[in-house]
Amino acid sequence: DAGVIQSPRHEVTEMGQEVTLRCKPISGHNSLFWYRQTMMRGLELLIYFNNNVPIDDSGMPEDRFSAKMPNASFSTLKIQPSEPRDSAVYFCASRLGLGGADEQFFGPGTRLTVL
């Protein structure tokens, strides 16, 4: 079975541009998570969805960040406008259910560089 799929794997953009990161969770998983990894802050949860509904977006750093999950097999994380401090690796993860102790399966990440 395919794991979590993220695209693009690498993105280089200029400050002020809109950036859209994409994620396809594992089929049948109904919880989806977006994380950001930086040297300074480590891995931090940005937002998570259950059954396509955002449950907790308290980790989203600013209004420039938005996430959507229009259906069970697709989610986007958008940054508009992007800034150099948004440079990081963004991971998407999915899990079978919400709550409980099932592990989260992570995608390969998108390495974002904002110049």
Partner 1 sequence: AQKVTQAQTEISVVEKEDVTLDCVYETRDTTYYLFWYKQPPSGELVFLIRRNSFDEQNEISGRYSWNFQKSTSSFNFTITASQVVDSAVYFCVSASGGYNKLIFGAGTRLAVHP
Site string (40-59) toward partner 1, x via CB under 8 A: --xxxx--x------xx---
CB-based contacts of 8-11 (< 8 A; 24+ apart in sequence): 8/110, 9/108, 9/109, 9/110, 9/111, 10/110, 10/111, 10/113, 11/110, 11/111, 11/112, 11/113
Report the C-alpha gap between 88 and 77 in whole angstroms.
Answer: 13
Task: Give the nearer residue to partner 1 in terms of CB position, either 72 or 98.
Answer: 98
Task: Give the nearer residue to partner 1 in terms of CB position, either 72 or 81.
Answer: 72
Residues in 75-94 that interact with partner 1 by CB under 8 A? 89, 91, 93
CA dihedral 3, 8, 12, 15 (to 10 degrees): -100
96 makes contact with partner 1 (CB under 8 A): no
When binding is defined by CB under 8 A, the residue of 22, 72, 78, 106 that contacts partner 1 is 106
Binding-site ranges for partner 1 (CB under 8 A):
31, 33, 35, 42-45, 48, 55-56, 89, 91, 93, 98-101, 103-109, 111
